[in-house]
């Protein structure tokens, strides 16, 4: 155990100055993935109770029970459902626009933090490459000042050590890319499922309601007055 810890510390210290920003990137990446994993759990985004209530709702029936369920729920599906239920008196087209606006807002909330992972995917390999180049510059700057097989061996070891930053940068970027791809696909799948549920809810709530119900009543023009016949 102590030998492993010593090896890790040696690997880190030999990587040069750029190992410190890479270490910060690794900490941020791990923290972000843990927080996104907790926030994107299905019970926090799409509670099973709300899903089953939407599926249980009879077309044309009252959604009062569903309204009570989502009233005190803070999930994304509950917030979108509340908006849909609050605008049932409006025409269906207006309700759909309001729901779509709210859904876009919820998508932004669900994707929160993914931009951090995307940035780390880009900068971690670059920081590793800069560290490797910096190490190679340092090694080759002393190349003409040393002679002998032992010194050549030290230079070779220095080159290998200069590549530690590149290895560390790639080892950060690869897991971060996996996490970013996984969470992106998960958010996309959840958004499709929520859209399907909300469309089903609107279809049931507006079932049997004629479009004329929402059209403004046009005033009827008064009947023309009879023209009196000319007196003979």
Range list of β-strands (E), the chain: none
Provide the residue ranges of all domains of the chain, joining segments of one domain with +. Answer: 2-209
Asked if residue 127 lies in contact with residue 18, where contact means CB atoms within 8 angstroms, the answer is yes
Of 82, 74, 114, 112, which is closest to residue 98 (Cα–Cα)?
Answer: 82
* Residue 88 and residue 136 in contact, taking contact as beta carbons nearer than 8 Å: no
pLDDT of 89: 87
pLDDT on residue 117: 94
The pLDDT value given to residue 122:
93
Which two structure tokens, joined as six digits, stand for 195? 């859209």
Per-residue pLDDT tens listing for the chain (232 residues): 777 777 777 777 766 778 889 999 999 999 999 999 999 998 889 999 999 999 998 888 888 899 999 988 889 999 999 999 998 888 888 999 999 999 999 999 999 889 999 999 999 999 988 888 877 777 776 666 555 555 666 676 667 667 888 889 999 999 999 999 999 999 999 999 999 999 999 998 888 765 444 444 344 444 454 545 554 4
**Closest listed residue to residue 50, CA positions, set 96, 82, 89:** 82
> Residues 6 or more apart from 32 whose CB is under 8 A from it?
113, 116, 117
């Amino acid at each position: 155990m102590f030998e492993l810890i010593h090896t890790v510390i040696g690997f880190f210290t030999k990587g040069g100055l750029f190992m410190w920003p890479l270490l910060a990137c690794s900490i941020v990446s791990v923290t972000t993935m843990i927080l996104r994993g907790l926030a994107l759990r299905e019970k926090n985004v799409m509670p099973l109770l709300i899903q089953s209530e939407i599926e249980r709702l009879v077309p044309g029936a009252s959604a009062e029970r569903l309204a009570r369920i989502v009233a005190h729920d803070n999930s994304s599906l509950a917030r979108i459902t509340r908006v849909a239920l609050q605008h049932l008196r409006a025409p269906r087209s207006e309700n759909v626009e309001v729901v779509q606006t709210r859904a876009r807002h919820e998508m932004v909330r669900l994707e929160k933090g993914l931009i951090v992972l995307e940035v780390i995917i880009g900068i971690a390999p670059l920081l590793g490459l800069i560290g490797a180049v910096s190490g190679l510059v340092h090694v080759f700057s002393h190349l003409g000042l040393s002679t002998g097989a032992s010194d050549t061996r030290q230079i070779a070891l220095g080159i290998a050590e200069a590549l530690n930053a590149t290895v560390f940068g790639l080892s950060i970027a690869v897991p971060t890319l996996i996490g970013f791809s996984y969470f992106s696909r998960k958010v996309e799948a959840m958004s499709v499922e929520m859209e399907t549920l909300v469309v089903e809810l609107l279809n049931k709530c507006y079932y049997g309601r004629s479009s004329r119900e929402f059209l403004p009543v046009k005033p009827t023009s008064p009947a023309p007055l009879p023209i009196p016949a000319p007196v003979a």
